[in-house]
Structure 1
Amino acid sequence: MTDAPAPPPAVGPAIIRTTVDQLAERGFPPGAVAVRAVPTSVGWSGSSSNDVPIRTATCVSALEVREQLRQRADDEWLVIFTDRDANDLGTGVLAHLATGRVRGVDVWESVSETFRATQLAPSLTSMPDARRIAMGLLSATPVSGGWPAAPGGVLTREHALDSVLESSLHVDTSQDLSQLLAWSVADESAAAIARLRDVAGDRLAEACLDRLAESTGPSRAAVRPLLEADVLPDLAARGIVLGVLTDEAQQSADERVDARVALARCEEWWGHDRPDAEVTRAFGAAATDGLTRLLAGSRRDHETALRLIDRADSLLQKVGGAELAELSDLLPSSHSRRARTLARALTAMDQSGTLAEVEAAWAALERHRLVERFRADNDALRAATRLARWVSTPTAEIAAGGDSGEVLARHSRAHLDVGGWVDVALNAASVGVDDTTTTARGIEHMVHRALERREEEARHFATALAAATRDDAGRSGAFGPEAARIWPIENLLETVLAPVSTQAGPSGVLFVLLDGMSVASATSIADDAVGRLRWQEVRVPGSPEGSRRAGAVAVLPTLTTISRASLFTGRLTSGEQAVEREGFTAFVAARLKHKARLFHKAAVDQTRRGWAVSPEVAAAIDDTGGTPVVGVVLNTIDDALDRSDPGGATWTADSIKHLEPLLLRAASAGRTVVLTGDHGHIVERRDGRHLSPGTVATSNRSRESGGEVRHGDEILVEGRRVVSDDHRAVLAVSERVRYGPLKAGYHGGAHPAEVVVPVLVLRPASAEIADGDELPPQQPRWWSGPVTAPVVAPASAPAAAPARGRRPRTADPGPALFDIAPEPPEQSRTLGMAVVESEVYQRQTELNARLTMKESALAALIDEFAAARGHRLPPVTAAQTLGVSLARLRGAQEQAKQILNVDGYPVLRLDGDAQTLVLDVDLLCEQFGVNRDR
């Protein structure tokens, strides 16, 4: 008994079209084709890939075949399905067929031809339900262009499925997980999976999703069940949730218990027991990393990531893991929780808390990835953290030695170096956060603590101011000795403008006075000018090397009509604009033998349409030969005291009307710029009070002498620098009091923010600057990060004996590019000192003999690294330690690398952000043969 013949296979439209296309590619014109198969779609009609019509017919006899052949149009393909063999049809019928025979159906042969392959890999043909997968591949064949050719002629499972994924689902398995996560949330992705099932069948769709899951590596078992149309948009969000719940290294014992409970609730996501712990942990970590990279990508990627992160936050709460959110660097609720943790640490500093707890809380908040979304809150919290660092430092003891002028100079220097930066932080913290509970209270608490200390410092400053004014201690031209001098503002033309003009030579000087510019205002203006506009801040000619930004003391009371007029005339006086112009031009003509012009608000504002700078002012700046000295007065800051918010403003060159175009014009002309003010100002924080002046109030912060002087709130000043009829006045000291109506800010009093005036000297980026003239960043150390003590080398680690022929440390000949303060005494020998005293260091300096970095500078840098958290330094701290500007920091760090990176080992390197410097202290000690107290 013989077996019955196998029934003809079923054939769908994909094989029909593929059969015709293959014949067309071999040069056959439209004709008839007989196929031994059972059609799955009777009477199907369509077209080939080159748009030739295709008609099908089912014939069970030779007669029916003949009739269909007779009816075929010349311009169409006819595909005849029949169960008759060649003998039944006869040679007459076969002669009318394109290939002269009845074709059999081999779907894999068709697949091979569509991929232009000469061989099929077993990994493809041995797949479960391989025929259905092959049929699916033919059904999903792109109408235009077909499938990409199999590499090397061998069609593998991976190439076939990847081709379908790219064509039908628009996803590439070679992309990183962040791109896969972005694809999963796209609106069209779930619909594309559904379309693939409709066109190619479930089996091919399943195989493609299996392949997509494989591309995620160890996460495969967790990812695969989530690659379905109904849950696909939650793929990334669920991954982030798993990242939080499975990161046991970050969890406390109680948090691990909570995480296990939440993970149990996640089992429903898979419809069965969840994958094992290692798989879910891998998926969570991969999803978190992928979303982090997506967040840092293009604007579109960033917005996609934000949607996914918000969804993840919701899912975490749904599974009961809200209390664990703080462990995430991505979730919005994590930022809120970390902010509250920081606020509680700020509040606790008065009781059992420590600055270390504040630093740890701020570091966690700073790691959070949603910087842009929470920028305003972060600015306020960063400022509160800076205030916490400042209030944790011991109150600076201003030495009482020397005359009253020296004492005032030291107090003024303290405000220039520290107090003004405290004011910046106070202003930023006072803006507050969008949270009226714990976070806002924590910031408020730290602001109050800082204000109390500022009030105490203001009283000490005012006492020194009154003594120096009474003693007329500035008559010699400056308060204090040369190394720390502060100028009376009426001497600025002589002590600053004259030497700057001489140094600038034919390029000339632009002297810009920003009315009301305080030390706090100058911090951001200078940073903007140096950073964004590429100016170079330099020391005043004649100042000692290593000096900081210069400053002056305003005339009293600190009013525009008094202090500004005294500045521009070079003598103690009062007056309006005419007095200032006459005095300024007269001084320059007499002292510098130059022509000068001074422009006030009306002349500066008279710009023609299309002109950023008034044509008259622009012409004067351009005319370096005819007008070497040009002065301009800008009133934006002083105007803000009446009608806006100087405390909430960030003053930059573009926020002060006319300043940026003036600076650009000056740079084009090659002019040096002197930027200063006539007095500073204090900010109204809405917690002050009105004082009855008792006598005639000369401003919101000053009154005529007479009546009771309320100690702590006011002070009596008298002497030549008090410009009044009797050379006496009572000035407000506390920034919380005023004599007049409520405004946004005030000046006229004796607070250091009103009295101390910053003086900046700026050179264009193209100007040549002598070594030691350019100023380093001016921020106090606590501004950029925690201030820590240097690591002291252990006593058991004696210095290596000097190599023979080593130059003595005292020699250090010639000018060096970098210099710092003298080294500490031998008994406090630090790690940095141990390195520069080693034989390896000696060999490195001999190999790099042309380097100009001093040993003391490198030692200080090493000590700063050794004491810093994670041995990491932000650029500002590194520049300050080396005594260079940020513009020259790159050259400095390259010199340090040449010395420290022995044999190319990365002892000193840049972090992934391309800014933060990192020192491998262990490798440093190993390379230089020094010990470290671990």
Structure 2
Amino acid sequence: MSAPEGVATPEAVRRKVEAWLAEDEPGYAIALATRPDWQGDPVFTVRDVRIRVVPCPTPLAARAAIHDRVDGERLVLLTDLSESQLGDGLLAHLSKQTVRKIDPWDLVRQLFGGVARNDPMLVRSGRWVADALSDYAPPEGWPAPPGTILTRDHALRSLTAELLGLPATALDDSGLVQWTTEATRQRRFMDAPDAVAHGITAYLTGIAGRAVPGIMAAVRAGHGVDVIPMGLLAGLLWTDTGGNEVVAAVGRTRLEPRFGGLSLTPPQAEALHQAAEAWVYRTIDTGVDGTAEAMRMLRRAETIAAEIGITELIGASTILPSGFLQRLRAFADAVRLAVPAGGVALPAAVARVQTALATVEAHRAVEPRRLETARMAVRLLRWLGTVDAAAPATLLEALHRQVQQDGWVDRARLDVFAGDPDPQVAAAYRLLHQAVDARRSRHDRQFADLLAAAESEPGALLRVEDVLDRVVQPILDQGKRVLLLVLDGMSVAAATEVAESVTRRGAWVELTPDGGPRTGVLAALPTVTEVSRCSLLSGRIATGGQQAERKAFQLRFPAGRLLHKASLRAGAGMALDREVLAALEDPSVPLVAAVVNTIDDALDRSEPGTTVWGTDTITAVDDLLASVTDRVVVVVSDHGHVVDRGPDAMVLPSSSSENRWRPASEPAGDAEVRLVGSRVALAGGEIVVPWREEVRYGPRKAGYHGGASAAEAVIPLLVFTPGEDPAVPGWSGAPVASPEWWREPLPEPSEKSASPIARRRPRRPIEHQPEGLFDLMATTPATAPVTAAAPAVDPMLDLVTALLASDRYAQRRDPRLSLTDERVAALLRTLVAGGDRATLDTLAARAGIPAHRITGTLTVLRRLLQVEGYPVLTVDADGRTVHLNRKLLIEQFELEPQ
């Protein structure tokens, strides 16, 4: 290590000896001008020559050293005496009869292969550099500079890399942060003299940025392995206090000793914070082991936060796991305040909940399941923020309410009912669920009353026994082959998930009656499998099991095939039985019906309320759809279901063991309704069933059916076709199925709105997608009307009007394209009003575009707007969220910023 000022270091003496021995006539002694103080070994070997170093503070000491020299040994005399003080007699024994000077910079040139000269900037860096280059020179020597001049950067980069044990190419903030994860590599820097440590830190700051002082100070203080956790906290303490300045100030004071007393500036703290976060993301991307290591650092940061008393600030972090929980709790507080005590949720309160949700979504350690539940909670609040419509006048109206509104409510409230593990969040969800249940119960009571009073003549109402005649047969009559999928127990809520799953890949297009909203089917009564499924497959009210179903189906469709679960099973390696595949491919089999029991089975022994029903959870559907290329697919169920309410359930007495219906031996209670008529297939045509979802009679299970709630009695009806709309009379491409409150809301126009560029809400970085993502070219007919209401035009959002009036737009407008200016305006205004983002469903709904055509329409819009290929429109990695780069749009079309 470097010696005290004026004292020759062992390395400097060795290098001087090496140069001396390389002379033609080196002699046997040299004198070096330095303090007569020696901290190294008195005897060492250079080129097999024994060298003895002797401090000589007086001429007498020099004479004694020469007198006592052993043959074959060479002497190095260290003295601060002048040549005149030594005298000619002593000088005669010295090589070249002189006292040689130790010039550290001459040694540096020698260490770097004898370069011609040193860069003056290197010399001005200070003596510490020369000493350090001598002290820390590697055995193989320093790397030669690219030229004949030893530059400051080459020397200091080489020294720093050697001292830290890093490649010279890794001397940046990311390399230094990674370096701190290995304690053993930090030891040399921790033990380095202060002058060296300060000099190296200054050099690194110049080339690696403001994060360096904090990193190196923490290492010197013995807390190097905590650099990443402390960096993660730095963003909370120095740059974003969240209004808790006092707590942050105390935290800074308590954290500074771990930085060796260094008081970081805000820019230094922010740079350290960014470097630490970047390390976390990079490490997670390396795989499972990297994720575990990153989580260890995150947990360590939370431990340090607790030690310095700043746990309450963690909510401001977008990366610490506890920050997600704090944000989720803040969101739950907003939910609790927004839940109406009867009546309608206030728009301002709902808006605050949506803002709180945005902070939850922004957290990088978000837990997907809990986030999805939070999103469902917001949707339910938006629903509660709508005025409840008047009670339906007919059973058909009530059925459509379940298909088009309440089924979506049921889907969301199942998630909220499943809840959250945190008690504070769970309490808010329970309060919300109670408010939703209150309105849904009113709807169920209205539905049950209409069901009890229904006339036998259905009119426009589609009943389960009518599906074969009124849905399937007309398709067959047009020469189309059909695959009828009976998903036993599928509710409307489950069907919304199934439909999204089927159409997500783009291979299947959903059809609805005349291209309007979805419709549904009324189940037979009671809503149990032996009644409703048998009635479906018989084409009339009937009861029975699989044998009865098969017999009735074959009578109705002699050339058809009915497949139950056992028939679908195949041997090893086969997803479907060969006979099933043959039937699907056989043009002489017009109708193949397959009963899939996955959902109904879950009611007995699974969790139907928390399962997301789709092609990945109902694998038989995925396998069947993959095997069908030219059949229209009709998806129905025989009945829906309700889930068990746990301790909130009401168990009523019954003479039967059935869960959700009983004989009418006793009058109906407040939670029940009496059903009588030809569509009641059991108990002599007269039964009592509960309309309240939490009521049951029999043993506890995961879910139930048989009752008169809309979730049980309304059967979803989905129709899909491969490719474009087929020639099926009365059926066309479906619009977006979700109700308005399900999709993201539009902000209210404000007189204080900022300009479009300034108003843009901060979002997570956009992941740009290749052009081919939307290359499923399908243009929208020019005659299709924009049926959905476009967002109200904020005067500050008149950017769209300026675009449509611009010369550049007129030049790029292709009159052959079917994308009208009206539709361009509707799409862009939806994006601008949504903070430059919107989901595909929202764009389709608000621009009046059939759901399956939105990707093709967006392709046309992208080609229209993306001048020279610049990404004016991009899509998130989720494949559903579209982003508008407003700045690029303004630049490309030479618009004035609004």
TM-score using structure 2 length = 0.78
Query: Partner letter of residue 678 of structure 1?
Result: D
Query: Partner letter of residue 562 of structure 2?
Result: L
Correspondences of 1:259-408 after superposition (within 5 Å):
259-272=248-261, 274-284=263-273, 287-288=276-277, 291=280, 298-349=287-338, 350=340, 354-371=349-366, 374-397=367-390, 400=393, 407-408=394-395
Matched residue count? 818
Deviation per residue, 1:471-515 (Å, 9 max, x gap): 4224xxx42xxxxxxx3222222333345556785xx54322111
Distance 1:839 1:597, change over 3 A: same
1:524 aligns with 2:524: no
2:713 to 739, 752, 755: 755
2:668 to 676, 701, 709: 709
Q: Secondary structure at the match of 1:264?
A: helix
Deviation per residue, 1:510-548 (Å, 9 max, x gap): 3221110111222333333333x65423205xx313x24
Deviation at 1:290, TM superposition (A): 5.8
Deviation at 1:758, TM superposition (A): 1.8
Distance 1:166 1:715, change over 3 A: farther
CA distance in structure 2 between the aligned counterparts of 1:672 and 1:13, rounded to whole angstroms: 92
Deviation at 1:419, TM superposition (A): 1.5
Q: Is the 1:536–1:774 Cα contact (8 Å) retained in structure 2? A: no
CA distance in structure 2 between the aligned counterparts of 1:639 and 1:348, rounded to whole angstroms: 39
* Counterpart for residue 26 of structure 1: none
Deviation at 1:745, TM superposition (A): 1.1
* Counterpart for residue 101 of structure 2: none
Distance 1:320 1:326, change over 3 A: same
CA distance in structure 2 between the aligned counterparts of 1:206 and 1:416, rounded to whole angstroms: 71
Distance 1:223 1:793, change over 3 A: closer
Q: Is the 2:804–2:821 Cα contact (8 Å) retained in structure 1? A: no
CA distance in structure 2 between the aligned counterparts of 1:512 and 1:218, rounded to whole angstroms: 63
CA distance in structure 2 between the aligned counterparts of 1:880 and 1:175, rounded to whole angstroms: 53
CA distance in structure 1 between the aligned counterparts of 2:793 and 2:117, rounded to whole angstroms: 79
* Counterpart for residue 757 of structure 2: none
Query: Partner letter of residue 604 of structure 1?
Result: L
* Counterpart for residue 872 of structure 1: 837
Correspondences of 1:778-817 after superposition (within 5 Å):
778-786=737-745, 788=747, 815-816=781-782
Deviation at 1:886, TM superposition (A): 7.4
2:226 to 234, 250, 255: 234
* Counterpart for residue 801 of structure 2: 835
1:598 to 551, 559, 562: 562
CA distance in structure 1 between the aligned counterparts of 2:148 and 2:852, rounded to whole angstroms: 57
Query: Partner letter of residue 601 of structure 1?
Result: K
Deviation per residue, 1:311-363 (Å, 9 max, x gap): 22222333332332222222333222222222222222237982122222222
CA distance in structure 2 between the aligned counterparts of 1:752 and 1:575, rounded to whole angstroms: 24
* Counterpart for residue 420 of structure 2: 433
1:422 to 397, 406, 409: 409
CA distance in structure 2 between the aligned counterparts of 1:294 and 1:826, rounded to whole angstroms: 45
Deviation at 1:618, TM superposition (A): 3.5
Q: Secondary structure at the match of 1:658?
A: helix
Distance 1:419 1:354, change over 3 A: same
1:674 to 617, 627, 634: 634
CA distance in structure 2 between the aligned counterparts of 1:828 and 1:359, rounded to whole angstroms: 21
CA distance in structure 2 between the aligned counterparts of 1:567 and 1:913, rounded to whole angstroms: 38
Q: Is the 1:8–1:37 Cα contact (8 Å) retained in structure 2? A: no
CA distance in structure 2 between the aligned counterparts of 1:172 and 1:773, rounded to whole angstroms: 65
Q: Is the 1:790–1:863 Cα contact (8 Å) retained in structure 2? A: no
Query: Partner letter of residue 470 of structure 2?
Result: T
Deviation per residue, 1:808-837 (Å, 9 max, x gap): xxxxx9923975316689999996898399
Q: Secondary structure at the match of 2:634?
A: strand
Query: Partner letter of residue 692 of structure 1?
Result: P
Q: Is the 1:539–1:550 Cα contact (8 Å) retained in structure 2? A: no
CA distance in structure 1 between the aligned counterparts of 2:105 and 2:92, rounded to whole angstroms: 19
1:466 aligns with 2:452: yes
Q: Secondary structure at the match of 1:743?
A: coil
Identity %: 30
Query: Partner letter of residue 511 of structure 1?
Result: L
Q: Secondary structure at the match of 1:759?
A: strand
Q: Secondary structure at the match of 2:449?
A: helix
* Counterpart for residue 661 of structure 1: 623
Correspondences of 1:470-619 after superposition (within 5 Å):
470-474=455-459, 478-479=460-461, 487-501=462-476, 505=480, 508-531=481-504, 535-540=507-512, 543-545=513-515, 547-589=516-558, 595-605=559-569, 607-619=570-582
Q: Secondary structure at the match of 1:386?
A: helix
Deviation at 1:732, TM superposition (A): 1.7
Q: Is the 1:343–1:442 Cα contact (8 Å) retained in structure 2? A: yes
* Counterpart for residue 74 of structure 1: none
* Counterpart for residue 109 of structure 2: 109
CA distance in structure 2 between the aligned counterparts of 1:917 and 1:793, rounded to whole angstroms: 26
Query: Partner letter of residue 560 of structure 1?
Result: T
Q: Is the 2:105–2:130 Cα contact (8 Å) retained in structure 1? A: no
Query: Partner letter of residue 805 of structure 2?
Result: E
CA distance in structure 1 between the aligned counterparts of 2:656 and 2:17, rounded to whole angstroms: 98
Deviation at 1:599, TM superposition (A): 1.6
Q: Secondary structure at the match of 1:113?
A: coil
Q: Is the 2:780–2:819 Cα contact (8 Å) retained in structure 1? A: no
Unaligned runs of 5+ in 2: 1-5, 33-37, 53-64, 79-89, 97-103, 754-778
CA distance in structure 1 between the aligned counterparts of 2:631 and 2:155, rounded to whole angstroms: 68
Deviation at 1:13, TM superposition (A): 11
Query: Partner letter of residue 457 of structure 2?
Result: D
Q: Which moved more, 1:224-233 or 1:891-900?
A: 891-900
* Counterpart for residue 132 of structure 1: 131
CA distance in structure 1 between the aligned counterparts of 2:752 and 2:856, rounded to whole angstroms: 28
CA distance in structure 1 between the aligned counterparts of 2:254 and 2:132, rounded to whole angstroms: 36
* Counterpart for residue 844 of structure 1: 810
1:447 aligns with 2:433: yes
Distance 1:757 1:17, change over 3 A: farther
Deviation per residue, 1:165-197 (Å, 9 max, x gap): 55653366667745643442x2x2x31121467
Distance 1:725 1:442, change over 3 A: closer
Deviation at 1:450, TM superposition (A): 0.9
Q: Which moved more, 1:385-394 or 1:165-174?
A: 165-174
CA distance in structure 1 between the aligned counterparts of 2:877 and 2:697, rounded to whole angstroms: 54
CA distance in structure 2 between the aligned counterparts of 1:86 and 1:671, rounded to whole angstroms: 110
1:181 aligns with 2:180: no
Q: Secondary structure at the match of 1:218?
A: coil
CA distance in structure 1 between the aligned counterparts of 2:792 and 2:744, rounded to whole angstroms: 28
1:688 aligns with 2:684: no
Deviation at 1:387, TM superposition (A): 1.9
Distance 1:409 1:878, change over 3 A: same
Q: Is the 1:640–1:744 Cα contact (8 Å) retained in structure 2? A: yes
Q: Is the 2:445–2:692 Cα contact (8 Å) retained in structure 1? A: yes
* Counterpart for residue 731 of structure 1: 689
CA distance in structure 2 between the aligned counterparts of 1:368 and 1:238, rounded to whole angstroms: 19
CA distance in structure 2 between the aligned counterparts of 1:133 and 1:424, rounded to whole angstroms: 69
